[in-house]
Structure 1
């Protein structure tokens, strides 16, 4: 019995634990080795926590700000997204609040604000994108982004970018406008890395030309929960043979499984891929 429970926990929850811990560690490194030495503000609620820490003269530390600012949005995630997502997001928030002071250091790798903005933003985007890919959020704007994505198909990185104007104004008023501009560079880098690592939101249209349409359709649906449209009566211009054309849309994360399914059914099938900007109708979105 214990072995079965352990196996189930490992199967469903292990990667969420790892994602939360990875996020906390990487955020602690970015905050202490890049953002604070370079006077760079992070994006989202982490940047808000930095701003509060600065305005209170350190009396309300960044770790407390991260925990307190995220509490209302964790409740929102519990009510609107899913309880599992809210629990693991809370874990990521708590671990980040622990690791930020734990990684506090007097070692300065570089005080160049541009280098600190680029590397801090890159680390943050990698951490956030990986956490989202593992099925948990990191609090703050990520929860808002997930809600908007669920209803409006809006990319999470773009949502983060849109909500950070006030944080950048705060950075400008606190450290000077040149640091606000450097912080904006960090936010842009972070948003880009989020979209690179969080591949679940990137949609790909696949066109498959095959003479085994029914078998191909069945095999794709067995491997992933995706609909397939079959267009019959296609005609090969070179071979002169009748073919069928299959159309489906998957996420970037599912692309490897789709290619494997195609090769298993028909190694000679021709297929092409193109990025999709928007889908409507009944495109399946897994629960966060």
Structure 2
């Protein structure tokens, strides 16, 4: 347990460092914006600096925006997930304050692409180890439990506001380059982790009872059990089918490795659900 948590902390710190590098060395100097709360923080920092005598850094604004979200997540999502997510945000803020804002290239396309790739690697590895970079991920988790509806609409609306605001304030060319960054970020995260909010896991195992008990001790999800048989060995097995959110995938993978490392697991995208799905 200690080894696993230490590894998770290290990964979250590396992810936060990559996020800060992408912002301060690529995106912020080029006035190209990220998605979600990070992009909102960039825009607010630019607007405050341009239209008021004050300056508040992107990192500080990112931390402030995530405080109320963290309170909601603590009550409605789970303490471990929210704690690691806020730790990721706080670490990003610290790194943003220490890493200087420096333009490595005058080419906006290079800044948009490399910034998007580095940012996506940071976000992707953080998600892969059961945490998030805060902000919209926590909100998505809350919405997925309150309403059995796709949360992609909320992501799209907030990112659309970021793009439109960037276009109005700094020219539509900046908005188009922001679109490039968003596209690159999404594609890289798809490769490292998944952008699908709901997933279905089909687990073929000889230890169905032990797996069900272990899964229920960690996740409050229904499990359907089907009889199965090995195609070559004809050995009797069971197939467990469980629908979960992407934020629970790390816990499920860890449970399977601990209980039955020889189990065969297939993870597929779930585009829709009819019937009961835990929302509380």
Superposition TM-score tier, normalisation by shorter sequence = 0.7 to 0.9
Structure 1 position 30, deviation (Å): 0.2
Counterpart pick for 2:241 among 248, 254, 263: 248
Matches within 5 A, 1:41-60: 41-57=33-49, 59-60=55-56
Structure 1 position 136, deviation (Å): 2.8
Residue 226 of structure 2 aligns to a residue whose secondary structure is strand
Counterpart pick for 1:230 among 211, 218, 226: 226
Structure 1 position 128, deviation (Å): 2.0
1:5 corresponds in structure 2 to: none
1:4 corresponds in structure 2 to: none
Structure of greater Rg: 1
Counterpart pick for 1:121 among 95, 116, 119: 116
Matches within 5 A, 1:71-82: 71-82=67-78
Structure 1 position 55, deviation (Å): 1.4
Distance 1:221 1:77 in 2: 26
- 1:132 touches 1:198 (CA, 8 Å); kept in 2? yes
Distance 2:207 2:177 in 1: 51
List per-residue Cα deviations over 1:110-166 (Å, max 9, x = no partner).
332223222222222222232233333322212212212334466777753442111
Return closer, same or farther for 1:176/1:130 CA change in 2, 3 Å cut-off. Answer: same
Distance 1:48 1:273 in 2: 33
Structure 1 position 183, deviation (Å): 0.4
What stretches of structure 2 of length at least 5 have no aligned partner?
A: 217-221
Counterpart pick for 1:193 among 188, 191, 195: 188
Counterpart pick for 1:27 among 1, 14, 19: 19
Tell me if 1:206 matches 2:202.
yes
More divergent stretch after superposition (23-32 vs 64-73): 64-73
Q: How many residues align?
A: 262
Structure 1 position 201, deviation (Å): 5.0
TM-score normalised by L of structure 1? 0.71
Return closer, same or farther for 1:169/1:280 CA change in 2, 3 Å cut-off. Answer: same
Return closer, same or farther for 1:74/1:65 CA change in 2, 3 Å cut-off. Answer: same
- 1:205 touches 1:276 (CA, 8 Å); kept in 2? no
Structure 1 position 244, deviation (Å): 7.8
Tell me if 1:13 matches 2:13.
no
List per-residue Cα deviations over 1:7-46 (Å, max 9, x = no partner).
x5x2463244223312320111101221023321111121
1:133 corresponds in structure 2 to: 128
Structure 1 position 92, deviation (Å): 1.7
Counterpart pick for 1:165 among 160, 163, 187: 160
Structure 1 position 207, deviation (Å): 8.0
1:217 corresponds in structure 2 to: 208
Q: Could you say what the CA RMSD is over the residues aligned between the two structures, in angstroms?
A: 4.0
List per-residue Cα deviations over 1:248-279 (Å, max 9, x = no partner).
24776557948x94957xxxx9x987544344
Residue 131 of structure 2 aligns to a residue whose secondary structure is coil
- 1:142 touches 1:160 (CA, 8 Å); kept in 2? no
Counterpart pick for 2:58 among 47, 62, 69: 62
Distance 2:203 2:157 in 1: 34
